[in-house]
Amino acid sequence: MPRAALFDVDGTLTDTTYLHAHAWWEALRQAGHKVPTAALHRAIGLGGSDLLDHVLGESRDRGGDESINAAHKTLFATCHERLGALEGARELLHALYDRGWTLVLVTSAVGGELAAARRALDADEVIAHIASASDVAEGKPAPDPVEQARELTGAAREQTVFLGDSVWDMRAASRAGVTALGVLSGGIPRADLTEAGAQEIYEGPAGLLTRLDESAYARMERET
């Protein structure tokens, strides 16, 4: 029976949360919107349209959304060559692969952004699938991205773990009926992740790696 290890990317495996927040802040500023970076930080993890709904309100004039999204992509692209993996991220992916897990990245990144993240992780040889938010009807916090990623592996919900750094990750995983684990490397408080459904929380990939044998991953291995 396959076991699926699903991963958010930004703030979970790559150190990009605050880069995205700044890119969104500048894109919105250019469009005449004043949105505090703290509000944008908490919204990272949502897809572009959902993020704009969250920070600007659903009743807004959506006529400028396309240009704001494009500006964000352009601004973030200036960081592509400098993106870095979080400490222990690559080693964690390899450790789980060696233990027999099927690995899937669950991300809204496409094109150059996705390629930059994959270069930063340098772990393509152990990643079985990339589940794109563009392939589902609704992004996180809806369960669709997590469910799609799980189905790519053929794993049961009881044999699936999703690791993320945002409340949107935890809500999506919980709604999909899989085990939700949180990391603090995206800057979201522990209490917020717990309230959103995180069953275990670690400082970051390196922290999880050192405690892998006492984590949900190890418990699932023992049960099968």
Domain with 127 in it: what CATH number? 3.40.50.1000
Kindly indicate the confidence band of residue 106, based on its pLDDT and cuts at 50, 70 and 90: very high
Q: What is the pTM of this model?
A: 0.96
Interhelix angle 17-30/48-56, nearest 10 degrees: 60
Which of these three, 55, 78, 101, is where a domain ends? 78
Question: 71 and 94, same structural domain?
Answer: no
Kindly indicate the confidence band of residue 1, based on its pLDDT and cuts at 50, 70 and 90: confident
Question: 152 and 71, same structural domain?
Answer: no
Report the pLDDT value the prediction gives residue 134, as an integer from 0 to 100: 74
Domain that holds residue 67: 17-78
Q: What is the overall mean pLDDT for the chain?
A: 96
Amino acid at 53: D
Q: Is the pLDDT of residue 84 over 80?
A: yes
For the stretch 118-165, pLDDT in tens is: 999 999 999 999 998 778 889 999 999 999 999 999 999 999 999 999
Number of domains in the chain: 2
Report the pLDDT value the prediction gives residue 110, as an integer from 0 to 100: 87
Amino acid at 38: A
**166: nearest Cα among 131, 208, 136, 197:** 197
- ∠ Cα 64 167 16 (to 5°): 65
| Residue listed under structure tokens 């190890």 | 218
Which of these three, 78, 107, 125, is where a domain ends? 78
For the stretch 29-54, pLDDT in tens is: 999 999 999 999 999 999 999 999 99
